[in-house]
């Protein structure tokens, strides 16, 4: 037993019970058909001429059905006589190198063989111009700039690090995605607190002076399923994205308990959220740009996802991690994000423990002003999957005695101890299909 384990050896772990959280669940059934339909009725398709080269943007996020949407967009362009190709549009992600960005696309199922068109990856950008109001330089991916047209494709959702009229979405794909590392660095220089305004200014410049012919925005329900797909021409992107963001907020999941002691998270990563964990769900940020109420005292994260490829951006949101997590960190994949965004708090190293068991003990030990025999602990797989959560007995009693405050929660199982293997590794929750 290590010295750290000795210090927390007396901490008892609570028994846990599974609870189901319910949310509205609008689901789009015919995604392929909707992509073709939207490109038709929006007027985006009418701008594609036979022989046109059309760039389609592929981001770094684990967006529901993104490979299918790109595949169908490429098929639509071909049907119009155009020549589609996909470009990685993800700022500095993938270690800010072309090969790394192509690998991220492949990990999301976005490949040339599946999508039926070439993938052209480069970190080279072209300077398109400078915005009038703030004198911001506007960059565009070189391959995209050489195309006859660009169709932006992205999910519209609340952003984990800033708020405003537009957050994550089509406009951000235009500004930061197409801008690659050089553009992202220029825009972050103005401060994360100004990012929504910056994104709008840069995107609108590209819409007016660039070769973007339209965009496709998706909104997901709380179960990470595609709820809607909407195509829009450049003159309508900004106004429609503002409205679609409101719909995204209405469909955003949450942990219904807002005051507890410890949050145990099995995994985090860039495929889960840009900050590794969704900050709206954990109510924690690594900068002061968003006002919020802190929901918990400590956050314990056990590992990185395989899909994040060692990118631990956002680890500063956690208080405690494991040795296994630390060994999976690729600092050269992590730090470019922080240097680009100028938000250093998200890459600060948390306290590291030998194993999962000690990590959870440490998280409880570091809470103050609580009854350690009745710790309020919530256990989740990741911040994408909170329809099923595990809670300790004290939170269960809170739910049981105040059910009218938690109408969308129901008990699923019975209480049982948290289980570990012989080496102190947590027996994880079953993966959701």
pLDDT in tens, 363-419: 999 999 999 999 999 999 999 889 899 999 999 999 999 999 999 999 998 999 999
CB 296 within 8 A of CB 392: no
CB 232 within 8 A of CB 215: yes
Query: Token pair of 207, please?
Result: 């819409």
Across 391-415, b (16+ Cβ under 10 Å) vs e yields bbbbbbebbeeeeeeeeebeeeeee
pLDDT in tens, 250-269: 998 999 999 999 999 999 99
For 31-251, the fitting CATH number among 3.40.718.10, 3.20.20.30, 1.10.3760.10, 3.40.50.11440 is 3.40.50.11440
Cross-strand partners of 152: 215
Range of lowest pLDDT (231-235, 254-258, 428-432): 428-432
pLDDT at site 197: 96
The 8-class DSSP code of residue 429 comes to P
Using the predicted structure, report yes or no on whether residue 291 has a pLDDT greater than 60: no
CB 363 within 8 A of CB 262: yes
The 8-class DSSP code of residue 266 comes to E
Crossing angle of helices 178-188/195-209, nearest 10°?
A: 140
Beta strands (DSSP E) in 145-296 are 149-155, 212-220, 226-233, 262-268
Q: What is the mean pLDDT of residues 94-105?
A: 87
pLDDT at site 274: 81
Q: Identify the band that residue 96 occupies on the pLDDT scale cut at 50, 70 and 90.
A: confident
The Cα 88–Cα 270 span in angstroms is: 15
pLDDT at site 161: 80
Using the predicted structure, report yes or no on whether residue 432 has a pLDDT greater than 90: no
Task: Give CA 348 to chain center in angstroms.
Answer: 19
The Cα 147–Cα 254 span in angstroms is: 41
The secondary structure of 340-392 as a DSSP string is HHT--GGG---EEESSHHHHHHHHHHT--SS-GGG--EEEESBTTB-SEEEEE
CB 201 within 8 A of CB 179: no
- Strand 53-58 to strand 83-88: parallel, antiparallel, or no bridges (unpaired)? parallel
Q: Is 293 exposed, middle or buried (0-12, 13-18, 19+ CB in 10 A)?
A: exposed
pLDDT at site 192: 85
Using the predicted structure, report yes or no on whether residue 235 has a pLDDT greater than 90: yes
Using the predicted structure, report yes or no on whether residue 288 has a pLDDT greater than 70: no
pLDDT at site 433: 53
Max CA distance (Å), the chain: 72
Question: Which SS3 state, helix, strand or coil, does residue 90 take?
Answer: coil
Whether the pTM exceeds 0.75: the reply is yes
The Cα 312–Cα 314 span in angstroms is: 6
Question: Which SS3 state, helix, strand or coil, does residue 411 take?
Answer: strand
Q: Identify the band that residue 206 occupies on the pLDDT scale cut at 50, 70 and 90.
A: very high
The proportion of the chain whose per-residue pLDDT surpasses 90, expressed as a percent, equals 80
CB 34 within 8 A of CB 65: no
Q: What is the mean pLDDT of residues 234-250?
A: 97
The secondary structure of 114-126 as a DSSP string is HHTS-B-----EE
Domain ranges of the chain: 3-23+254-417, 31-251
CB 44 within 8 A of CB 82: no
CB 139 within 8 A of CB 185: no
Cross-strand partners of 215: 152, 232
Q: Is 244 exposed, middle or buried (0-12, 13-18, 19+ CB in 10 A)?
A: buried
Using the predicted structure, report yes or no on whether residue 316 has a pLDDT greater than 80: yes
pLDDT in tens, 341-370: 788 888 999 999 999 999 999 999 999 999
Backbone angles phi, psi at 129, to 5 degrees: 165, -165
End-to-end CA distance of the chain: 37
Using the predicted structure, report yes or no on whether residue 52 has a pLDDT greater than 60: yes
CB 39 within 8 A of CB 45: yes
Nearest to 86 by CA among 62, 114, 61: 114
Using the predicted structure, report yes or no on whether residue 312 has a pLDDT greater than 60: yes
Where would I find the H helices in 154-260? 170-172, 178-188, 195-209, 234-250
Using the predicted structure, report yes or no on whether residue 227 has a pLDDT greater than 90: yes
The C-alpha angle with vertex 125 and arms to 56 and 143, in degrees rounded to 5, equals 35
pLDDT at site 42: 98
The proportion of the chain whose per-residue pLDDT surpasses 70, expressed as a percent, equals 97
């Amino acid at each position: 037993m290590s010295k750290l384990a000795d210090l927390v050896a007396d901490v008892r772990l609570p028994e846990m019970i599974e609870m189901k959280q319910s949310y509205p669940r609008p689901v789009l059934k015919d995604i392929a058909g909707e992509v073709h339909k939207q490109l038709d009725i929006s007027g985006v398709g009418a701008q594609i001429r036979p022989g046109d080269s059309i760039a389609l943007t592929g981001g770094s996020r684990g967006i529901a059905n993104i490979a299918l949407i790109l595949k169908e967009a490429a098929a639509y362009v071909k049907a119009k006589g155009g020549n589609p190709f996909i470009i990685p549009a993800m700022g500095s992600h993938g270690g800010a190198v072309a090969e790394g960005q192509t690998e991220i696309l492949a990990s999301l199922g976005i490949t040339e063989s599946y999508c039926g068109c070439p993938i052209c990856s480069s970190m080279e950008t072209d300077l398109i111009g400078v915005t009038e109001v703030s004198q911001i330089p506007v960059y565009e991916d070189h391959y995209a700039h050489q195309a006859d047209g660009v169709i932006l494709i992205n999910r519209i959702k609340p952003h984990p690090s800033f708020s405003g009229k537009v957050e994550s979405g089509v406009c951000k794909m235009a500004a930061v995605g197409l801008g690659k590392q050089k553009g992202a660095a220029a825009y972050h220089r103005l401060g994360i607190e100004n990012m929504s305004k910056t994104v709008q200014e840069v995107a609108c410049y590209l819409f007016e002076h660039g070769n973007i012919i339209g965009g496709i925005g998706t909104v997901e329900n709380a179960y990470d399923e595609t709820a809607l797909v909407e195509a829009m021409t450049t003159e309508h992107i900004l106004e429609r994205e503002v409205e679609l963001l409101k719909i995204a907020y209405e469909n955003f999941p949450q942990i219904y308990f807002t005051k507890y002691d410890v949050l145990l998270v099995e995994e985090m990563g860039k495929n889960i959220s840009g900050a590794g964990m969704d900050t709206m769900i954990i109510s924690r940020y690594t900068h002061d740009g968003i006002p919020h109420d802190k929901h918990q005292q400590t956050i314990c994260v056990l590992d990185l996802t395989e899909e994040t490829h060692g990118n631990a951006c956002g680890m500063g949101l956690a208080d405690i991690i494991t040795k296994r997590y630390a060994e999976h960190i690729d600092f050269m994949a992590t730090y470019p994000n922080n240097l680009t965004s100028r938000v250093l708090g998200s890459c600060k190293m948390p306290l590291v423990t030998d194993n999962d068991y000690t990590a959870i003990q440490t998280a409880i030990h570091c809470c103050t002003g609580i009854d350690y025999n009745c710790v309020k602990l919530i256990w989740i797989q990741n911040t994408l999957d909170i329809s099923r959560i595990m809670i300790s007995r004290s939170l269960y009693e809170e739910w049981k005695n105040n059910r009218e405050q938690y109408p969308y929660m129901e008990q699923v199982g019975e209480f049982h101890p948290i289980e570990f293997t012989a080496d102190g590794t947590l027996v994880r929750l079953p993966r959701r299909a």
